[in-house]
Structure formats: structure tokens, C-alpha cells
Amino acid sequence: MTILNQSLHWMQWPENRLKVASLILLLTLSACDPFPGSKQQATSTTTEKTRISFWNGFTGPDGQTMWEIVRQFEADYPQYEVEMEIIPWSTYFDKLMVSLGSGKPPDVFILHENELVNYVLQDAIRPLDDLVNGPQGVPVSDCLSSIWERVRIKVPGQSEANIYGIPLDCHDEAVYYNKDCFRQLGVPLPEQLDRDNFFHLARQLTIDQDKDGRPDQWGFVFGGSVRRHLYTLTAQFGGQFLDRENGICLIDQPASQKALQILYDAINKDGYMPNPIHDGSNLWQGFLQGRIAMYTDGIWMMNGMKKLADFDWGVLPYPQLGDQKAVWASSHVLCLPRFSDTIDGEAAWIFLTYLSNHGVDWSDGGQLPARYSQLASPDFTQKEHYPVFAAQIPDIIFGPNDPNIIEIETRMEPCLLSAMSGQQPMLKMVQEIKGSVESILRRGVD
């Protein structure tokens, strides 16, 4: 009771109440700094080097390769300091989008070639024509023409296409194979895979030793995203996935149907591939453990493979199962933001061209250079296995170049996986993909 009385008594003093109110007001106001930029300005005036912020999603061993190139750049250009931020691809685009919208984007950033068009239509990317054709430009004729076409984009309302990115690399797919699996069965190593030898070889290398109906060794795996194999095989049969001009998804056309049939049969009829629905996360591990003889995946897996001393492996070109050669590929593209409060355009361009000029060094991270001269340089051609990927460059195809491609692919991948694994009827999935893709195409870009 005494304490209660004392507190009431205390509250009755007007001057004390005023003091409390003033204190609260002071605390509230002190939380609001009227000069938010003052500290930043003080810091920036003390730094002598020009800072270049560079964002990418190279979270694997490729990040280490990029670090080395960046350090070399800083040594070659001591007036610049690069702040490289490696962000997992899963959250990279969230952060990039917010930074672009808020006017504080990185000075240089990476996109995949298929993502570029959407960012361009969002007015997020700076056209680079003046820089490319300027005194410190990029030799356009030396860049891989197929990728170069992907970075030249015509925005509605403009008369000509502009250059919106500089290709850093090219990454296509091939077949990694375990030589021991071939040796143990006495199967000669093929020089290439085509429809004459592929299916026979895949079945031959599938072994069920204990006869429990579940193979102990699988012959072949179409690894990674199913859609990449759909694009590749559809192109091999002379078709394409989208007819953008007419807003039609061509997945129900014969070329795509043949491609889907191969993917379906691999699991459900021929049985040389484990069901990715059951073992999806373990398939690459299964290959490294010797349970899978051949595995298709991108060149980016090379970086990890090189470190496996006890694993005897090789690389074959992607199988030609259709009438013509084709293999899916993509590319990392270097971009500059259109709107930025912080960018030092000259420094960013110098750094960007430096990366582009060091494509051979970057290939150590598991990539192909995006320039003809770099592909022909002895430093690159003497690398083991890389030439197999490089030899496919004339046959590379890219995914559909639609501003909504990320939505389209996110929408169709689970359907493809369900159809391929036999969980859902193929016909139903084909109709569902066609319906949803055409609906997205009709809607266009918001």
C-alpha cells in the first residue's frame, strides 16, 4: 500500500509529469535522425577508391573463380574497389528487384539471358549501345552470335533493337559418364550417342543384380529440369515449344510429343532412368556413387567433377535422338541498371568489359567463354573435357524468349515432372500446360 500511495503521490506533482512527458517526447524525437546521409557522406569522403558493387548468384565453386578474377581486376586497376555480393539464386531476384525499384541497385549485376527481356520491359536495364560502340567497347563480331541475338532486344514503341547486356559465358549440357560402369560390363566407350546406340546402351548399363525389380545400377538420367530436355529434344525433332507471334504453345505438336515420349519411356517403359519423383534429390549423388552410368547435366558441374580424384569419368556430347542436332544452353549476362542514385557509369563499364575479356579465366568456374577468340585460345582448348561442350555451340538452342518465361516455366515444370514420372496422365498434363501457357501469353506483360 505504501508503494502505491507513493506512486500516486508522485504523479500528482505537475512538474514531474511535465518532465516525464518531455522525456518521452525527447526519446521519440531522438529516434528520428534529421540528417540520415551525414554519416555516409563522412565515410565516402574519406575513401579514395571508387567502389563498384557487383551482384551475382555464384554460390558454388564458381564464386571462388569469380573472386579470383575480381581480385585480379583490383590489382590491375588499383583505383577501383569491387564489392562483390554473392546471393543464392533463390533470393537473388527478390533482392535485385527491390534494389532496382528503390534506385539503389548494384553497379553491375548478372541475369540469365532468358530473364533479360522481362527486366528490359520493366525499364530496369540500361541500353549499352553507346558503350559497346564507344572507344572502350566490346568487339561485337567476336561474341557468340546466337547469344548476342538474345541480348539485343526491341522494346515495343522503338524502331530498333538495343543491346541490354554483355554475355559473360555460355553453358550448355552434355553427358557425364562413369568409365568404370562401362568397363565392368565390357561395354566399349562410345564416341557419341545417337538413336542407333543410345537406347541399347542405356538398357545394357541398367543392372538389377538382386532381381528385386529395382535396378542397382541405372543406365542413364536426364538430369536437372525436365523442361531443358523438352526444349532440346523438341528442337532435335525439328519443332519448338512456343509460337510467340500467334500466342500458341506447341507442346501438343508431333515434335514435342516425340520428345515427351522419350522422357516418359526412359522411366516407365525402357526403365533405364530412376524416377526423379522418388529420387530427384539423390540422382547426382547416385551418379557420383557409381549407381548411374550416364548423367546429363550442364557444364557448370565440371567444377565439382574436377576435384574427384578417384572417380574415372568422361564427357560425351548430348545424345542426338531426333533428326537433327540440338542442345539447350543459356548464358550469364552482365547488365547495368537504368536507374541508379549511386552508379559510377565509367567504372562499372570498365569492370564489366574486364569480366567479359576474361572469359577463359571464368571458364574455370564451369562455363564456356562467350567469345570466339577465347574459345579458340590455347588456354581454353587445352582444357580437358571442355572442348566437348564447346563443340556443341553451333547446335545450341535457347529456351523461349518470352517476357513471361519464368512464370511459364514455373507453371509447367511440376506438370512435366508428374507426367514424366507417371503420376499424372501425360495427355492431361499436356493439355494443362498448353492451356496455362497460352493463357499467360494472352495476358502478356503486366
For position 30 contacting another protein by CB under 8 A, the verdict is no
- To 10 degrees, the CA torsion angle through 326, 365, 128, 116? 50
Nearer to another protein, 113 or 169 (CB): 113
Q: Give the residue with the Cβ less far from another protein, 122 or 192.
A: 122
If one asks whether residue 292 binds another protein (CB under 8 A), the answer comes out as no
Handedness of CA 57, 58, 64, 66 (dihedral sign): negative
Q: Residue 194 is placed in which grid cell?
A: 545417337
Comparing CB distances to another protein, the nearer of 11 and 391 is: 11
Please state the closest distance from residue 421 (CB atom) to another protein, in A.
8
Q: Rounded to an integer, what distance in angstroms lies between the CA atom of residue 431 and that of residue 225?
A: 20
Residues 88, 139, 280, 425: which binds another protein (CB under 8 A)?
Answer: 280
CA distance 2 to 25: 30
- Please, what is the minimum distance in Å from the beta carbon of residue 94 to another protein? 4
If one asks whether residue 414 binds another protein (CB under 8 A), the answer comes out as: yes
Number of neighbouring beta carbons within 10 Å of residue 277: 13
According to CB under 8 A, which one of 30, 46, 246, 281 is a site residue for another protein?
A: 281
- Of residues 117-176, those binding another protein (CB under 8 A): 118-119, 122-124
In angstroms, rounded to a whole number, what is the distance separating the alpha carbons of residues 284 and 300?
13
**Contacts by residues 114-117 (CB-CB < 8 Å, ≥ 24 positions apart):** 114/150, 114/330, 114/398, 114/399, 114/400, 114/401, 114/405, 114/406, 115/405, 115/406, 116/150, 116/151, 116/153, 116/164, 116/165, 116/333, 116/335, 117/153, 117/401, 117/402, 117/403, 117/405
Stretch that binds another protein, among 168-176, 191-199, 238-246, 411-419 (CB under 8 A): 411-419
CB 26 to another protein: min, Å: 12
Q: 3-class DSSP state for residue 47? A: coil
Per CB under 8 A, which of residues 177..206 are in contact with another protein? none
* Type and span of the H or E element at 225: none
User: Interface residues for another protein in 322-341 (CB under 8 A)?
Assistant: 339
Q: Does residue number 401 form part of the binding site for another protein (CB under 8 A)?
A: no
Residue 26 found at the interface with another protein (CB under 8 A):
no
- Of 404, 412, 420, 426, the residue at the interface with another protein (CB under 8 A) is 404
* Separation CA 53–CA 139 (nearest Å): 25
Minimal distance, residue 388 CB to another protein, in Å: 31
Instruction: Report the residue number, 109 or 148, with the smaller CB distance to another protein.
Output: 109
104 binds another protein (CB under 8 A): no
Question: Which residue in 94, 194, 243, 312 binds another protein (CB under 8 A)?
Answer: 94
Among all chains, which residue has been given the C-alpha cell 540528417?
Answer: 35
Residue choice 101, 139, 238, 345 for contact with another protein (CB under 8 A): 101
Interface region with another protein, contact rule CB under 8 A, candidates 155-163, 233-241, 271-279, 393-401:
271-279
The DSSP call for residue 198 is H
Minimum gap (Å) between residue 212 Cβ and another protein: 12
Distance in Å, CB of 178 to another protein, minimum: 19
> Residue 51 CB, nearest distance to another protein (Å)?
23
CB nearer to another protein: give 105 or 239: 105
**What is the smallest separation between the CB atom of 90 and another protein, expressed in angstroms?**
9
Nearest to 125 by CA among 162, 156, 84: 162
Please identify, using beta-carbon distances, which residue of 101 and 134 lies nearer to another protein. 101
Tell me if 303 sits within 8 A of 62, measured CB to CB.
yes
Cell numbers 554475355 label which residue?
A: 167
Label residue 337 exposed, middle or buried (CB < 10 Å: 0-12, 13-18, 19+). Answer: buried
Query: Would you say 420 and 230 are in contact if contact means Cβ atoms under 8 Å apart?
Result: no
Least Cβ distance, residue 13 to another protein (angstroms): 11
Residues within the interface to another protein (CB under 8 A): 11, 14, 17, 20-21, 24-25, 27-28, 31, 93-94, 97, 100-101, 118-119, 122-124, 277-282, 339, 404, 406-407, 410-411, 414-415, 417-418, 423-424, 436, 446
